Amino acid sequence: MRLGRLLEDLDSLAGNVAFEHCYTGRGLPLLVTAAVDEISLRHPLQLERDVMVHGQVVWTGRSALDIRMQLMQAHHEPQPSLEALFSFVHLDPATRKASPVVPLRPEHPADVATFAQRQAVADERRAARQHADKAGPQPVPAEAREWVRAARRMLELPALSGGEAVLMPSTCQHNTFVCQPQHRNTHGRVFGGFLMRRAYELGFATTYMFGGRRPVFIKVDEITFSRPVDVGDLLRLTSTVVHAAPTDEQGSQGRVVVEVEARVTKPEAVESFVTNTFTFVFGLTSPPGSPPLRLKRVLPTCDEEARRCWMAQQV
């Protein structure tokens, strides 16, 4: 089953649910995907079984709303096989500024509890943004600085460093393409689900080449859509393995965290900027009777990479 296409379809259906909630008959609402909470695969998907995707508005703020998406297969019901939560922002079509949404009034106790939970998440995010603006970048932990020193030894004494580790930049893979009109949404921007799919496919290939086994999707960490991507933009995806480690003593199973950065490049202006950063978690398994996995330790070469490695361990 193409998980990347499934992620794209989830975003598309979530947009339809948000549209139906915000449409009042007085003009088409303008909605943009602001963020995606962790998307976790709870049960393996079976290709031969039907898939039903269910979407529901679970929270509204002044100009934002959250859509809970659940993917169901009959053999796992009533539990969803995959669950995700998409956050949208309602904009005024004329000014492109935040515009009020139709408020949600939950009545069922379960819906009231979910609404309160999402309100707490929204308040926590607001407080975290304010704190980050004042505090600046987080310091690099002492353990992560040791990783940088180990990477420096690899760079300076490669013949004596052994083969148990690999430098983070050497795990990178790239994909560059021009965004086409068929990838746009109803408002002319490139569809966020399309970016998610392309990032997933590159992250999958990177993990495959790094681990030597076909990876299995586990989850996507929180995604923030920082800047829009337009039709005709030259988009460069860069994937990097930021953490890899075995998950059992035999070394037959492992976990790989891949970060995919989406960057719009404008050669005419000689500039580029990051639009999104995706973090995917994949699992690797060595079949019975096969040699154990050969997962090398990923070493950061600078403080910025060390901070990314440290955060990847928390995913």
DSSP character string of 238-253: EEEEEEEEESSTTS-E
Query: Are 304 and 182 part of one and the same domain?
Result: yes
How confident is the model at residue 135, as a pLDDT?
65
Select the more confidently predicted residue: 224 or 56.
56
For 225-257, letters b (16+ CB in 10 Å) and e give beebbeeebebebbbbbbbbebeeeeebbbbbb
How confident is the model at residue 258, as a pLDDT?
98
Query: Are 108 and 188 part of one and the same domain?
Result: no
Domain boundary among 105, 120, 135: 135
Lowest-confidence pick of 116-120, 162-166, 175-179: 162-166
Reply yes or no on whether the pLDDT at 133 is more than 70.
no
Mean pLDDT of 56-73: 95
Lowest-confidence pick of 25-34, 45-54, 251-260, 305-314: 25-34
Domain boundary among 81, 115, 135: 135
Whether a cis peptide bond, with omega within 30° of 0, leads into 78 is yes
Reply yes or no on whether the pLDDT at 78 is more than 70.
yes
Cα atoms in the 13 Å half-sphere on the side-chain side of 219: 16
Query: Are 128 and 183 part of one and the same domain?
Result: no
Average pLDDT, the chain: 91
Mean pLDDT of 48-66: 94
Report the relative pairing of strands 271-285 and 52-60 from DSSP bridges.
Answer: unpaired
How confident is the model at residue 189, as a pLDDT?
87
Query: Are 63 and 157 part of one and the same domain?
Result: no
Lowest-confidence pick of 97-101, 148-152, 160-164, 167-171: 160-164
Mean pLDDT of 33-58: 90
Domain boundary among 80, 105, 135: 135
Residue 95 has what DSSP assignment? T
Q: How confident is the model at residue 178 (pLDDT cuts 50, 70, 90)?
A: very high
Lowest-confidence pick of 36-40, 54-58, 142-146, 218-222: 36-40
Mean pLDDT of 11-24: 93
The number of folded domains in the chain is 2
Mean pLDDT of 141-169: 90
Query: Are 217 and 289 part of one and the same domain?
Result: yes
Query: Are 91 and 186 part of one and the same domain?
Result: no
CATH number of the CATH domain containing 153 = 3.10.129.10
Query: Are 240 and 271 part of one and the same domain?
Result: yes
Q: What is the residue range of 38's domain?
A: 3-135
Reply yes or no on whether the pLDDT at 170 is more than 80.
yes
Round to whole Å and give the CA distance between 94 and 96: 6
Reply yes or no on whether the pLDDT at 162 is more than 80.
no
Reply yes or no on whether the pLDDT at 265 is more than 70.
yes
How confident is the model at residue 136, as a pLDDT?
66
Reply yes or no on whether the pLDDT at 65 is more than 80.
yes
